[in-house]
Every structure is written in C-alpha cells, then in structure tokens.
Amino acid sequence: MTPEIKGFLLLSVVKLLTVFTVVMVGVALLTLMERKVSAWMQNRFGPNRVGYGGLLQPAADGLKNLVKEETLPAHANKGLFLLAPALSFIPALMLTAVIPFAAPLPVTFDLTLPLLGRFIHTGPMPMVVADLPVGFLFILAISSLGVYGIALAGWSSNSKYSLLGGLRASAQMVSYEVPLGMSIVPVLLLSGNVTFSAVIADQQTGLWYVLPLFFSFFIFLVAGFAETNRLPFDMPEAESELIAGYHTEYSGMKFSMFFIAEYANIVTVCAVTVTLFFGGWDIPFTAWDQTPGLAQTLLTGAFLFLKILFFIFVVMWVRWTLPRFRFDQLMSLGWKFMLPVALGYVMLTGAALWGIEDVAGVTNPKLRGAILFVLNLALGYLVFFVVDRGYIVTGAGSAGRRGAAGLGGTR
Amino acid sequence: MAIGVKVLKRPERDVSYVRATLKGMALTFKHMFRPKQTMQYPEQKSTEEWRLSPRWRGTHRMMTDEQGRSKCVACGLCPQICPANCIKLVPGEDENGHRYPLIYEIDEFRCVFCGYCQEVCPEEAIHVGVHYENAEYQRGRFVYDLERLQAQTHPVSTLWDPSDPRGE
C-alpha cells in the first residue's frame, strides 16, 4: 500500500468512528427526545428523574434492556429470529455513511507510525465516510434491505401478530419505495448528478431544492414516514391492533435493536431530506462556507445538525398529531395518489426544465430555480386549494362511491 | 369494501386534508408551551386544585390518651362490625378493672376501608387515616399491630363533611 492510500484509510476510519458514535449516541438521545416531545405536546413533563432533566434516561433504559431476560417463543425459527434484529439494524447504520456532514476540511499530514509505516494525506478531505459515486442510489438500494429484517422478524416469531405486522411492513415498504424513488428523479433532473456532494454544490450555486422541487420534497417526506414505519403510517406496529407488530415476541436487547434501527432510519431519512432539499451542510445566504477551512467545517457541521434535528422534530411532531391510517387507505394513498403525482411531477419538471434550458435558454441556476419555484407555487395552489377539496383526493369511504374517478386515499 | 361497512357521508367540498393536518400540527405545537399539568409527586403532594379529601379513608391509626396509652377499651365492636373481618382483638383487664387490648391487629390487605370501625368506636380510638403511602418490602408488614397503629401521626378521616353531615 502506498502511503497515500494508508492516509486515506486512516482518515476514513476516524470519520467512520466519529459518525458511528454520533449516530449511536444521537439515537439514544432521540428516544428521550421522542418521549419529551410527546410529553410536551400533551402538557406533561416527560422523563425528568434520571440525571438532569432526564438526560440519563436512555442510559437507564439501555441498562434495563441489557439485563432483561431474552425470551424465545416456542417453535420460533431460532436462527432467523436472532438474525432479524441485526438485519434491520445494519442497513439503518450503513446509510449514514454516505451523508456529507460538513464542508470539506483541508487535511495535510505526513507521519510515520511504528509498525504501520508512513501515512500521507494532502488536500481537502470530503467530510463523508464514503463519497460514493452512486450517491442516493445507494440510499435507495440499502434502505430496501431494511424490510428483510422486519419481514423475517415477523415470520420467524411464530406468532400471528408478528406475522401480520411483518406482512404489513413488507407491503407498505415495498409500496412506498416506488413514490420515494420517483420523488427523487426531479432532483436528478435538476442536478444532473446522483452524488450527494454534487447535489449540495448545485444547491449552493442555485436555490435549495425545496423551492424549485417542493412536491418532490413533500412526496419524499411522506414516503419517508412510511418507509420508517412512523405514525401516521405505523401499521406494522399498530399497538391497538397488533400488540407491537413484528417485534411482539422480542425482548431485552433484541427489542432495543429494532428500536435503535427505527431511530437510525429516522435520522437517515431526515439527513437525506436535508441533503437533497435543504442544501445539506450549506449555510444559506453566504458563500463563505464554500472555501475549505476548519471553522467552515465546524460551523457547517453544526448547521447540518440543526437542520436534521428540526426534521426529526417534525417527524415526532407529526407522530403526536395525526392518528393512524387504515391499511387500505394507506395502500390507496400510496398507489393511487402518491405514485401518479410523483410520476406526473417527474414529467412536469422534465418538461419545464426542457422549456427553461433548451427553449428559453436560461442557464443561470438561480433564475432557473426561481422559475421552477413559481411553477411550484401555481401547482401548490392547484393541489392544496382546488384539487385537495374532495374533488380528486377523496376520503376512503367515498372512493368506492366515486369508483375509478377518484384518485383515492385520504391525505 | 367489506360487506356491511357503513359509509358515513362526510363533508368533502370544504375539507382540505393538507390544511387540516397543518391545523392539527399548529394545535399540538401550541400545546408544547402550555403550562404542564403534571404534579411532581414525591416533592409535591397537593396543589390548589387537587388535594386529598378530609373524608379520605386510608390506613388506620389508633388514638392515645395523655399517658400515651391507647384509648381502646377492647369492647369488641370494631371486629364485630368489620365486614372484611380484618381486626383481631384479644381483650385484657388490669388490676383496676380497666379493659385494654392485649392484642390489636389490623390486616390492611383484608381491610376494605369502609370506615365502620371508626364509626362504631365508642371511645374514638380507632380511626381510618388520610394517608396513602403504604409501601412495604414484606407482606407481613401489612398486619399493623397496636404499637404501630399508635405510632402513626397522619391526620384522620372525618368520614363525613362536617358542614354537611347528612350528605345533602
């Protein structure tokens, strides 16, 4: 190995450990945040006994789950039963590897370690564990693996509730992956590149994609809720119907693994949302953060953290506001509304971009974004004030009455 | 649609699902800044709005006279009236002819906290207390003997509202 490759590996290991630690600690604290937010929204205090303001509650919960008895249902498929938590946990963690979490940091060193030899690194270091050229295609590919863990957990538990939860999870996640994938196609159209770093760079020169591609963002967020099995789409768990769905039979640390996987998935969905639609680590209204430097790296990292935290809060906010969907409503929303809208939006964005770039000849990214934004405003008025009044997007009860005329699904 | 499902006619024309969702989210957000309703229990045991009623019937307390002896004269009315049969009384008599309880035990697990013992007591000796913190590490500790009943200091129940004795 050349010293350059060894330097690259060394930095990668450091970044890997940092991201892993931050995500794991963050996930632990998110369980506390969830309980706090839910408490505040219900005029309660939430956990406040362990540590200052309940800060050590996750540690207490973790300790409790570690020492709890692990039960194994009779006739459960032992191998798969033990494998399933890991299968849902690992993809959730893998996804955080491709999110750029700060501005590139210029790192230059030339050091020799005993036994390991010489390490060299020069130039800016991208602050991402793996700057994959496949970009968000990796996210789509790996996030699909999460469904295996849940389906296997449901099947191997040998329990009716678990099996139903697993089935629901598979159907739901497979269905919502389609609009999720379709909703990022306009991002690809606009940026012309799938790598996250290129998407962020394009948003820095132009507008944040939430403005020119608002509907992509909307569909992505809603499909993201469904992909992470969060309310209002938490059909796989649905405690009022299925006890706890796929993790009914799990106890102790294995149950915790599902919990950690769920929160890690939330972190990932929020991070991808922020990266694709809210400029990633970009600080708005300033070009100062685009030149590499330590202060820029730290500040942009903090800014990304705040953005992700806000979206995690939104996820929790929605969870404690909306009731659960009925399963057929969920399916009709996914297939009959979100998929056509996502597809239509792809076509519309494509046509608009062709009109803007090839016919009108606008090349300024800011102007291009602004024109698309105006288009989205008109479309938003059309969808939220005209269409979304029972004309096309109808309640589930009336969908049958209207027959094929309604696009179905409640919103 | 499954057979027999009743489809309700809901207003559709004036309803926007997205705006209804946003409205709900605004409401929950406002709730985050409302005053908290939780009472911080071990530190705070009563508030202006909520306190134990003076008629609350909790675990018992035996009243004592000036010499610190129990007021009980071992007449046997309380074990007689007790519907749960939770009072054990063995009467004794001293050299002056005064009756007193040799053994007076109340099994608080059997007790149904009806308050009849307090109501029937001619000497106002046994009382049900305005008290609810009774946790113990052993089941046996829930049989309160005379010494323990006398050692209690919590306020006792009035059984009825003094300003409205007939419950009118």
Condensed to tens digits (0 to 9), the pLDDT of residues A253-267 reads 888 888 888 888 888
Are B27 and A321 inside 8 Å of each other by CB? yes
Q: How far is B15 from chain A (nearest CA, A)?
A: 5
Least confident window among A189-198, B71-80, B86-95: A189-198
**Is B17 close to A411, i.e. CB distance below 8 A?**
yes
Chain B nearest-CA distance from A86, in A, is 35
A366 close contact with B: CB closer than 8 A: no
From the list A212, A205, A211, the residue with the least C-alpha distance to A364 is A205
Structural domain contains residue B7: no
One-character DSSP codes across chain B: --TTPPPP----TT--HHHHHHHHHHHHHHHTTSPP----TTT----SS----TT---SEEE-B-TTS-B-----SHHHHH-TT--EEEEEEE-TTS-EEEEEEEEETTT-----HHHHH-TTS-EEEBS------SSGGGGEE-HHHHHH--S-B--SS-TTSTT--
Is residue B45 included in any domain, yes or no? no
User: One-letter amino acid identity for B152?
Assistant: Q
Query: B47 lies in a domain?
Result: no
What is the DSSP pairing of strand B99-107 with strand B143-144? antiparallel
pLDDT of residue A409: 41
The pLDDT of residue A138: 87
A339-353 and A160-183 are packed helices; what angle lies between their axes, rounded to 10 degrees? Answer: 10
Q: Which residue of B has its CA nearest to A410?
A: B17
User: What is the band of B154 on the pLDDT scale with cuts at 50, 70, 90?
Assistant: confident
Is the minimum CB–CB distance between B28 and chain A shorter than 8 Å?
yes
Looking at beta carbons, which residues of chain B come within 8 Å of A37?
32
**Which of B8, B19, B36 is closest, CB to CB, to A43?**
B36
Residue B37, judged by CB atoms within 10 A of its CB (0-12, 13-18, 19+), counts as exposed
Measured distance CA(A39)–CA(A32) in Å, rounded: 10
Residue A241 is predicted with a pLDDT of 75
Q: Does the N-terminal peptide bond of residue B91 adopt cis geometry, omega within 30 degrees of 0?
A: no
Do A288 and A232 touch, CB atoms closer than 8 A?
Answer: no
- Predicted pLDDT of residue A398: 47
The answer to whether residue B63 scores a pLDDT higher than 80 is: yes
Distance from CA of B135 to the nearest CA of A (A): 20
Would you state the structure tokens that stand for residue B48, as one six-digit string? 């202006």
Residues contacting A196, CB < 8 A, separation 6+: A98, A99, A100, A128, A131, A135, A136, A275, A280
Task: Name which of A42, A45, A384 is nearest B18 (Cβ-Cβ).
Answer: A384
Mutate to test the interface with A, among B3, B6, B38 (most CBs of A within 10 A): B38
The span from the CA of A199 to the CA of A187, in Å, is 8
Q: Count of domains in chain B?
A: 1
Q: Is the pLDDT of residue B98 over 50?
A: yes
Nearest to A199 by CA among A303, A100, A301: A100
Query: Is residue B55 assigned to a domain?
Result: no
The rounded distance, in Å, linking the Cα atoms of B111 and A276 is: 66
| Rounded CA separation B145/B70 (Å) | 12
- Which pLDDT value is given to residue A46? 84
B20 domain residue, yes or no: no
Q: And the tokens for A6?
A: 């060894």
Q: Does residue A120 contact residue A4 with C-beta atoms inside 8 Å?
A: yes
- Give the pLDDT of residue B112: 92
Give the separation between CA A257 and CA A78, rounded to whole angstroms. 17
Asked if A348 contacts A257 with a C-beta cutoff of 8 angstroms, the reply is no
**Gap from B55 CA to chain A (nearest CA, Å):** 29
Q: Which amino acid is at A269?
A: V
Q: Which two tokens stand for residue B151?
A: 């050692």
* Domain containing residue B128: 60-151
Residue B16 confidence class, pLDDT cut points 50, 70, 90: low
> Residues A252, A256, A260, CA angle at the centre, nearest 5°?
170
Does some domain include residue B40? no
Instruction: Quote the pLDDT of residue A404.
Output: 38
Cα angle for residues A282, A287, A293 (degrees, 5° grid): 75
Q: CA A263, CA A254: separation in Å to the nearest integer?
A: 15
Low-confidence stretches of chain A (pLDDT < 50) are 395-411
Enumerate the residues of chain A whose CB falls inside 8 A of the CB of residue B41: none
Are the beta carbons of A397 and B10 closer than 8 angstroms? yes
Please list, in sequence order, all residues whose beta carbon lies within 8 angstroms of the beta carbon of residue B16, skipping any fewer than 6 positions away.
A384, A385, A388, A389
Chain B: closest CA distance from residue A89 (Å): 30
| pLDDT over 70 (residue B168) | no
Instruction: Return the residue in B32, B33, B40 with the most chain A beta carbons within 10 A, the one to mutate for interface testing.
Output: B32
Whichever domain contains B118, its CATH number is 3.30.70.3270
Chain Cα centroid distance, residue A206: 23
A23's tokens: 């995500």
Q: Does some domain include residue B64?
A: yes
CB B8 within 8 A of CB A397: yes
Q: Give me the pLDDT at residue B83, please.
A: 92
For residue B81, what pLDDT is reported? 92
In a domain, B86, yes or no: yes
pLDDT at site B137: 92
CA distance A277 to A202: 11
Residues in chain B: 168
ipTM, interface predicted TM-score of the complex = 0.72
Query: Which residues are bridge partners to B22 per DSSP?
Result: none
B11 pLDDT tier (thresholds 50, 70, 90)? low
